[in-house]
Amino acid sequence: IIKSLRSGKQTFLHGHTNSISCISVSKSGHYIASGQVTFMDDHFSLHADVIIWDYEKKGIYARLVLHKTRVEDLSFSPNDKYLVSLGGQEDGSIVVWNIESKEAVCGSPASAQSAGHCLAIEYTSLSNEIFVSAGNGTLRVWELDLPNRKIRPTECQTGQLKRIVKCLEIPNDDNYFCCGTTSGDILKVNLKTRLLNSCGPVKQKFSKGVNGLKVLKTGDILVGSGDGMLSLCSGRNFKTINSVQLEGGVTSVTLRGDRQQFYVGTEAAQIYNLGYTDFKPELIATNHNMKQLQCFVSTFLLPLEGDISFISESLVKTLHLFVQILSRQLSFTLNMHAEKLHCLSFFFFHYLNCCCLIRFTRIGHLKCNFTFEQIGYWEVYDGSAIRELEGSLFGAINGMSISEDGKYFVTGGDDKLLKLWHYSDGEVTHVGIGHSGSITNVRICHNSRYIVSTSADGAILRWRYPQTS
């Protein structure tokens, strides 16, 4: 999502098939790179794509496919000539990409066999041939040998000091680089000699680790820690000059313009704006951070006869339609579900005296880990099945909603597609593409002007209801 600081207008970049794991912006601002995670269920592929976006055109410039399962980190070279990408623990490789040709230049395992997996990567500020990688017991400076299409690592010497590095920061002069560790201290390493220069603070370390670092022009360091503390530290002895407590652990720190202002993101889904002089946080963006809610009573019905009815999602894998709840009378039971329900919706037709239920069943794990879903139409009087539709080709369907006039309904699920169906014809009329995570719920507003959908990655999207007449 690209958001204008002046107008607040948002622009959406669509292209990933799952949650985004990392993002990087080129020094010139012309390109944005993003990486994702992926699983076997994602179209039966383990490839985790890297997408380079053209900022001016707000579209995909290149899609780079080599990494598997996860892209851990990304970094642009100073003149936007190269992009270096780091794969996750299962992949364990570093790849250098030529941005102009959109092809891989070379690659190499990120860590030695005796070391842990790599977590961060960062290009230097002046050279297109040098970048740094760090992680669990590994700290390397890489040099690009373009004629031989190879990257050659040099191990940094830290003596007896062993750390897990989570983030890297290289100042504009390329004299040294800083490493934020899970133990709450900062390593300063000479970039030319590859030797440890200093480590601190010695006594009072940053609680829950260092998650973000930024070196200012003065040499002082902005430090974001896992306990939500943002600190301004001296670049010489790592003593705290100023600090402020934020809500949620700090996840990222970035500078703006002349570096007199900076933005801070936290685990509580909040973004703060702070100034270098006053160091007072201003909350400029917030979002929900609840992972998941479960609905036990899916829908209440108010038919014309005045009886109260509801539909429940039973843990015993059957669907009960209760009528006349005051007298505890069970009308009928639909024993069609092989497994626990994923979602359920009900629409009562006053002029047809029938109901529409949405059924989703999981038939278990086959050889290809395939999930089968159906949309079922049911008779309201005896619960008999009228017809069934294939709701999705892959992945479970998790949400459904029906328009007020009963002519259309919308579904969404693990395929990340929002589908609008014609009720009578049983055919898909429109498909919405925008979510990078599994759609968890969908709703059509009462005036049929908008559709709202939520997804597992925490996104809430509002769609314009299409012209169906």
Please count the structural domains in the chain. Answer: 2
Q: Are residues 227 and 338 in the same domain?
A: no
Question: Given this model, what pLDDT does residue 291 score?
Answer: 54
> 257 burial class (0-12, 13-18, 19+ CB within 10 angstroms)?
exposed
Domain end among 253, 286, 319: 286
Distance CA 49, CA 60 (A): 12
Identify whether 221 is part of a domain: yes
* Burial status of residue 331 (CB atoms within 10 A of its CB: 0-12, 13-18, 19 or more): middle
| Model confidence pLDDT, tens digit, residues 370-381 | 334 678 877 766
pLDDT at 22 over 60: yes
Q: Give yes or no for residue 8 having a pLDDT over 60.
A: yes
Give me the mean pLDDT over the 235-249 stretch.
94
Phi, then psi, of 339 in degrees rounded to 5: -135, 180
Write the Ramachandran bin of 448: left for phi over 0, alpha for psi from -120 to 50, otherwise beta: left
pLDDT at 300 exceeding the cut of 60: no
- Residue 209 falls in which region: left (phi positive, over 0), alpha (psi -120 to 50) or beta: left
CB 166 within 8 A of CB 121: no
Q: Which residue has the higher pLDDT, 316 or 366?
A: 316
Q: Domain for residue 224, yes or no?
A: yes
**434: confidence class by pLDDT, cuts 50, 70, 90:** confident
How many angstroms separate the CA atoms of 359 and 373, rounded? 8
Encoding tokens for residue 69? 């399962």
- Distance CA(368)–CA(304), nearest Å, equals 47
Residue 282's CB is within 10 A of a number of other CB atoms, namely 11
* pLDDT, tens digit, 9 for 90 and up, residues 219-233: 999 999 999 999 999
Residues of the domain holding 102: 2-286
Tell me what the mean pLDDT of segment 195-203 comes to. Answer: 92
315-323 LR contacts (CB < 8 Å, sep 24+): 315/340, 317/341, 319/344, 319/357, 319/359, 321/355, 321/383
Q: Are residues 348 and 448 in the same domain?
A: yes
302 and 261 within one domain:
no
pLDDT digits (tens, 9 = 90+) for 268-291: 989 999 998 889 999 998 876 665
55 three-class SS: coil
C-alpha torsion sign, points 207, 210, 213, 218: positive
> Do 39 and 134 reside in the same domain of the chain?
yes
Does 270 map to a domain? yes
Does one domain contain both 181 and 253? yes
Determine, yes or no, domain membership for 434: yes
- Pair (263, 388) in one structural domain: no
**Please, are residues 391 and 345 in contact by the beta-carbon 8 Å criterion?**
no
Of these ranges, 39-48, 243-252, 346-355, 451-460, the one predicted with the greatest mean pLDDT is: 243-252
pLDDT tier, 66 (very low <50, low <70, confident <90, very high otherwise): very high
Q: What is the mean pLDDT of residues 226-247?
A: 94
Separation of alpha carbons 196 and 324, rounded Å: 76
- Closest to 455 in 3D by CA, of 5, 15, 18: 18
- List, for residues 145-162, the tens digit of each pLDDT value: 999 999 999 999 999 999
Please report whether residue 292 resides in a domain: no
Q: DSSP alpha helices (H): ranges in 75-135?
A: none
Between 48 and 326, residue with greater pLDDT: 48
- Coil, strand or helix at 370: coil
- 118 within some domain: yes
Instruction: Report the pLDDT averaged over residues 421-425.
Output: 89
pLDDT category of residue 259 using cuts at 50, 70 and 90: low
How many distinct helices (H) and strands (E) make up the chain? 0, 41
The neighbouring-strand residues paired with 35 are 22, 50
Measure the CA dihedral 34/231/174/53, to 10°.
10
325 and 273 in a single domain? The answer is: no
Residue 333 or 183, more confident:
183
pTM: 0.73
**Of the listed ranges 20-24, 87-91, 335-339, 411-415, the one predicted with least confidence:** 335-339
Q: Among 135-139, 321-325, 393-397, which stretch is predicted with the lowest mean pLDDT?
A: 321-325
Residue among 381, 375, 385 nearest 335 (CA): 385
125 & 105 share domain: yes
- Write the burial class of residue 140 (CB in 10 Å: 0-12 exposed, 13-18 middle, 19+ buried): buried
* Residue 455 and residue 318 in one domain: yes
Contacts of 110 (CB under 8 A, 6+ apart): 86, 87, 92, 93, 94, 117, 118, 121, 133, 135, 138
Q: What Rg value do the Cα atoms of the chain yield, rounded?
A: 27
- pLDDT at residue 242, rounded to an integer: 94
CA 441 to chain CA centroid, Å, is 17
What is the arrangement of strands in the sheet containing 250-256, beginning at the earlier edge strand? 250-256, 261-266, 270-275, 282-286
Averaged confidence pLDDT in the chain? 82
The domain that contains 456 carries what CATH number?
A: 2.130.10.10
Q: Is the pLDDT of residue 75 over 70?
A: yes
